[in-house]
Chains A and B, each alone.
Chain A
Amino acid sequence: DTEVTQTPKHLVMGMTNKKSLKCEQHMGHRAMYWYKQKAKKPPELMFVYSYEKLSINESVPSRFSPECPNSSLLNLHLHALQPEDSALYLCASSKATGGDTYSNQPQHFGDGTRLSIL
């Protein structure tokens, strides 16, 4: 069992729908991440939150909107997605050892949400 929980596991949505992906961890980690992974490819970083503040946005289109309501939760709001956005969306968390310094901490991943855009 993973310590990072993602819901839903699967999501099918139309291009005009609005939906949200949720991620939860109770390890006390203060850095949280969203990744996008296409089949047989490495994860691509989308967003990083450090102490509930957005610290990295990898030039992700505005149809993806992250939110970190508290230190345990991370959401990804989806709106007007395109077929090419179909992928596995992974959430991860790690310790943050003061400020933004967490380079040497391993990330703990959830099992992802498999998203299909019709």
Chain B
Amino acid sequence: AQSVAQPEDQVNVAEGNPLTVKCTYSVSGNPYLFWYVQYPNRGLQFLLKYITGDNLVKGSYGFEAEFNKSQTSFHLKKPSALVSDSALYFCAVRDEAAGNKLTFGGGTRVLVKP
């Protein structure tokens, strides 16, 4: 079975500071990893994905994520956070061997203060 953990319910960061949102996963096959962001009263927006290749993945709005196979992690990062980055962030995984179901982590609320 596949699973995703986001250990922090909320992350607070000052505007201009680096932002990190943590994600660890568990799969039996090769993982396909995704990050999504959800603003209030909106659907989820795709930020980036890791399928194969370079461990550092760059995505939308200046976000990037680093795939670490030995630590089974896929942390989301942004070098300089903006107030507008305040939202709910979800990490998700699809196990190549387990079919096409996308499993989401519990979500991390990011609050960027001016």
> A residues within 8 Å of B by Cβ?
2, 4, 6, 31, 40-43, 45, 48, 50, 55-56, 90, 92, 100-104, 106-112
Contact = CB atoms under 8 A, between A and B. Distances in A.
B25 interface: no
Interface in B30-67: 32, 34, 36, 41-46, 49, 51
B74 interface: no
A56 B100 contact: yes
Contacts, number: 61
Lowest 3 A-B CB distances belong to which pairs? A109-B43, A42-B104, A106-B46
B43 A110 contact: yes
Interface of B: 32, 34, 36, 41-46, 49, 51, 88, 90, 94, 96, 99-102, 104-107, 109
Nearest to B105: A42
Given A56-B101, A100-B100, A103-B32, A40 B107 contact: yes
B90 A2 contact: no
Q: Which of A6, A56, A107 has the most CB of B within 10 A?
A: A107
Nearest to A56: B101
A104 B32 contact: yes
B88 A2 contact: no
B94 A45 contact: no
B43 A106 contact: no
A56 to B, nearest CB: 7
A112 to B, nearest CB: 5
